[in-house]
Amino acid sequence: MKRKSQPDTWVFRYYAEEGGRRIYKKKIVGTVIELRRRKDAEKAVMQLRINVNEGAAFAPIDMEQLAAHFQFVELPSKAHSTPVGYKSYLTLYVTPKWGKYSLAAIKSVDVEVWLRDIKKINGQSAAPAPKRRSAT
C-alpha cells in the first residue's frame, strides 16, 4: 500500500464472517523498510493467516507455517540465546527439508532417517547436538 508521508507498507487483506455478513478487513504486516522483499512479507503474514483461518472447519498447516508460528509466538518467551539458535536450525535444516510438507504427511521414520543424514552447509556431517536439537 502506497503512503504519502510514511514508508509504503505490506498489507494482508481478507474477508471475515461477522454477524452472518462477509466483512472486508486488512492488517498492516510491516513497512517495505522492515520487510524488503515480498517473500519476507509472506513469511510474516503466515501467523496472521493461521489466526484468520482458526475458525475454519479445516485449515491445513504445513511445516513452514508451524515454524513461523513457533518463531512469532513461542520463541519470544524464551531466553535470548535460545531463539537465535532455534531460528538458525529452522532456517538451515528444518524448513528447507520439511517446509512444504503438511504435518499429516511427515512420518517419524522419515524424520529419523533425515536426522541421521543432516549435513552442515560445507557438506560435513553435523555434530550430534544439532541433530538432537533439530528433533525437538
Domain around 75: 60-134
Please indicate, yes or no, if residue 42 is contained in any of the structural domains.
no
Domain tally, the chain: 1
Please indicate, yes or no, if residue 7 is contained in any of the structural domains.
no
Please indicate, yes or no, if residue 121 is contained in any of the structural domains.
yes
Please indicate, yes or no, if residue 1 is contained in any of the structural domains.
no
C-alpha cell at 82: 535460545
Please indicate, yes or no, if residue 50 is contained in any of the structural domains.
no
Residue-averaged pLDDT of the chain? 79
Q: Is the pLDDT of residue 120 over 80?
A: no
Mean pLDDT of 38-44: 82
Please indicate, yes or no, if residue 24 is contained in any of the structural domains.
no
| Residue 132 Cα distances to 43, 73, 89, 118, angstroms | 26, 22, 11, 11
